[in-house]
Structure 1
């Protein structure tokens, strides 16, 4: 199928996505359907055309699945993933340093929890240091405001119990950085091969199998006796990666 030329229709779609940064694929399709009868192949070509226009400014529309809900996501992402400062624009150097500090605490959380409590996150503000190992001044009140902003800007997710974890946006836009900086800590889903911070893991401690909840649901759907896709041991889905729903994160940060 021939890729269409970039038009006002593409511009309107992109403007809507810029304002939201990320939306469900269903919402993106509804937006597309307002200007053109929906067809899956046409929609894919439509996205490709927008991406062609974005390549020169290091932006790209990517499609993924939300770890927590399994919803298909369409997101506008920065393709220059190596440096956080070039992706998370709009923050001061001090604010970015705090974000990197939280990112480290979340990725390095003990027992593959991949989250920290809001209380622990605020307390971390007093531990910030510059390259010369001098303390940086960030008050707890400023830290609380920043956490609200990180959640609002979809860099972090805050659960009902106050646990902070990595968002779909962060996993998409910073995937190369995360894999390079945390090669030993970042895990991939055994089935879809995308980064996983929420899901299930094999009961066998030595086994590296990790599955997103939505991947596990599809994979085990027709199995009477679910077995690990890697080591074939029984799989009960009760051994988790990430924090169980409605459970509070530890109020102190414990790193692996």
Structure 2
């Protein structure tokens, strides 16, 4: 890390941020204020953005970066310390065994490829995925139901996934920010972006016209349509009612089986953008039975 411009203020803030990984911007600002007090540096709220820029300049050489976005559901500004390596899922590897990481990849693939842009997987389907795991020698290494349940709880606790009231697992803001490059490079056309903010979208609204590409976060839609008596799509200008959703509502149960959209060749869960034999077998829509 290039630390020539780093002070105790930068180092202490980074140390605290590493333990949190994902924060609301208000929390990040409060942390900055407290670190300034501890290091006896003058605190100025207006300097926070410049401070984060300085941190990112120093972190660039070790593939780390503070990224900002708005929470998909609440619209609250958040900031996360992310690993920018997009060639593999190095971001999650340090805390999990190879088998556990393979399970994470299976869940990630099922969530991204969920039919009709649901972008989630039910708890039943998630546990079923644990029975499909294989190691590098292509030998089965299935997790027990108990181990899979415990691991799902860890993924949620570590803020990689969130679990809805109805039990469905979907991507957290940490995943969307930290795995941003990986998701775009690996899934390409399967990943949707908000038409207004251009960030990845897995929860929000979409145009009523099936062929239209418009997708909007709830908070982006609220701001954009605020002064429109009759909202229209920002792309095709058709009437916009906001009733066709991306993702499922918090209380809507996800299907107990995994239905996957057609997958383009060369995408999959391997982390290098090149699909293996498992990916080729999943190029068609499929239903994974629980039998």
TM range (shorter): over 0.9
Report the equivalent of 2:214.
Answer: 209
- Alignment root-mean-square deviation, CA: 1.5
Which of 116, 125, 129 pairs up with 1:124?
129
- Per the alignment, residue 235 of structure 1 pairs with 240
Unpaired segments ≥5 residues, structure 1: none
Q: 2:116 is matched with which residue?
A: 111
Match of 2:44 among 38, 49, 56: 38
Contact 2:121 2:254 in 1 (8 A): yes
Structure 1 CA distance for aligned equivalents of residues 168 and 157 of structure 2: 15
Unaligned runs of 5+ in 2: 37-41, 262-291
Go from structure 1 to structure 2 and tell me whether the alpha carbon gap of 1:211 and 1:38 turns closer, same or farther (over 3 Å shift): same
Q: Out of 226-235 and 128-137, give the one that drifted further.
A: 128-137
Q: Contact 1:32–1:38 at 8 Å: present in 2 too? A: no
SS of the equivalent of 2:80 reads: strand
Superimposed CA distance per residue, residues 31-88 of structure 1 (whole angstroms, 9 cap, x where no aligned partner) = 2123243332x11111112222212221111111111111111110001122014543
How far apart, CA to CA, are the structure 2 residues paired with 1:193 and 1:243? Answer: 21
CA offset at residue 170 of structure 1?
1.0
Q: Kindly tell me the number of residue pairs found equivalent between the two proteins.
A: 252
Give distance in 2, aligned partners of 1:245 and 1:92: 31
Question: Matches of residues 38-187 of structure 1 in structure 2 within 5 Å?
Answer: 38-40=44-46, 42-85=47-90, 87-187=92-192
Moved over 4 A (4+): none
Deviation at 1:158, TM superposition (A): 0.9
Structure 1: how far apart are the matches of 2:70 and 2:253? 25
Structure 2 counterparts to residues 17-36 of structure 1, below 5 A: 17-34=17-34, 35=36, 36=42
**Residues 249, 164 of structure 1: CA spacing in aligned structure 2 closer, same or farther, 3 A cutoff?**
same
TM-score by length of 2: 0.83
